[in-house]
Each structure stands twice: as structure tokens, then as C-alpha cells.
Amino acid sequence: MKKRWLISMIATAVAGYIQAGIILNFTANGTDAGPTAQGWTASGTTLRYYTNETFGSVSYNAWVFQSVAGDTGDYFLNPGIANTNAMRTDGWTVTYVSRTALAPSQGYHRLRLRDGSGYFDLHFVAGSTSSIANGLYLANAGTGYQLIQSLDLSGGYNTIQLTYEPLIAGSLNDNDVIKIWINGGEALSTTRAACNLGATGIIRAEFADAATGGAGLFAVNQFTLETGINVIPEPSTLGLFSISVLTILGIRLRLKNVMK
């Protein structure tokens, strides 16, 4: 009984970030030829190569994208998602693990989510020599640049997540909630209308080095688009959860011994 209780508690706690239904995925696992071997399409002249990097005690496999000023950029696109009903019903989560070594404001590392004629971008700015601060930005045709959070993108890999929560299951609404998470912490909450999304549900994703005005260098470890709201908690949250489980388990054992 005790084991069932513990397993049930752990399952409930992690249910919020277990992958539900993967729609689109890219993982740098070192055994393939890169994104093109996983169904993505490349364009542009940017140099691409595989690497393994260690930051702290964590090792990352990654595909590196490197360009010089004037390169036409490099985009990897999925061919389109035919059925978005599950995304409209359950919402969706994008997980993007990357490091941006160099991406000035006019040579940005960009993650774009396109929905019909609408889209919105996350711009990663690092090593900038302009007045724009290093960090993560939200950008689209309707609002221009909006700083989400100033941070050092070059010192290690960051997990960026976007979640889409429909107000009414099965339908799209201008007030549907979009949240942006940085390494498990909520950094921005906005709406579908504010992000300039279209009316069909996410159908395409792009990650690119648009280096028309400057050199760029970034590395991608993982990209996942899946149904459901599946936020990866901060390491500190997981640590607190572990301590809580152990504490509760200790209390149950003490009570059991007292009642003997």
C-alpha cells in the first residue's frame, strides 16, 4: 500500500511535464545526419555541424549553425501539420533547448512559430554591440520587439518553453493564453491576438540564423512541439518536491512505529 501511495504521488507531481503527444521533434543525438535526416528542410548558406559541449557537469549534443554577415540564413521547416484538433482541444507546448554564442540584433538566432499567415518569433540576442540588450525577445509584425528577459545566452544551454492554453476546448480565441517559460520559470503571459497568430492552429516551426546584418553562431540540442501543457519545472522545484516526498514518507513511518 505504501509503495502504491508513493508512486501515485510522484505520478501526480510529474504529470504536468510528461510529453503527451509529440507532433514535431528534432533531437541532436549524434547518430544521424542532423535535422534534414529527421524530416526537416534546410535552406541558405549557413555552415552546420555536430558538436558535444559540457557546461558544469552536464553534457549536451547539439547541431551548430554558424554564419557570417550577408549569409542568406538557414531555416528548418516541418512540412506542415495536417490535423491540429488535439492542439485546439488540449493546447500545446514547445520546448527548445539551445545556446546562443553570437547573435547581434541584426544577426539574430530566431525561433518562429507560423500559423497560416500569422506568426510570432522568439529572438535570441547575444554578443550584441548595439544598444539592444542581450536576452530573449518576442517579435512579430504587429508589436515589434518586446524584451522578455535579459540574460546571458552564451554561457550555457537554456530551456525555453511556450505553452498555448485554449479558453474553450476545441476552438480558437483571441484571448487564448500564451506563456513563455525560461528554464522552468514563467517569464511572460500574453494572448494569441497579441502574438499575431492566425486561425488554424500551429502548422509550422522554423529555427534560423538570419544573419543579413551580422555574424551568428548558435547550437540546438532539442526542439519539440507536443499537445498538452507540459512545463518542465525548475531544478529547485524538483528538489523541493523530493524533500517533501521524503519528509512525508518519514512522517508516515514514524506514525506507523508509534501505533505499533
Same domain, 34 and 108: yes
Alpha carbons within 13 angstroms on the beta-carbon side of residue 162 total: 24
Same domain, 81 and 189: yes
DSSP 3-state of 209: strand
Same domain, 82 and 8: no
What percentage of the chain's residues is helix, strand, coil (to nearest 5)?
20, 45, 40
Same domain, 244 and 184: no
Q: How many domains does the chain have?
A: 2
Task: Considering only residues 58 and 194, tell me which one the structure prediction assigns the higher pLDDT.
Answer: 58
Range of the domain at 128: 21-229
* Total Cβ atoms within 10 A of residue 232: 17
Same domain, 219 and 201: yes
Which CATH number goes with the domain that contains 52? 2.60.120.200
Same domain, 7 and 60: no
Contacts of 38 (CB under 8 A, 6+ apart): 25, 26, 27, 32
Same domain, 207 and 242: no
156-211 tens-digit pLDDT: 999 999 999 988 887 778 889 999 999 999 999 988 887 777 666 677 788 887 65
Same domain, 128 and 83: yes
pTM value surpassing 0.85: no
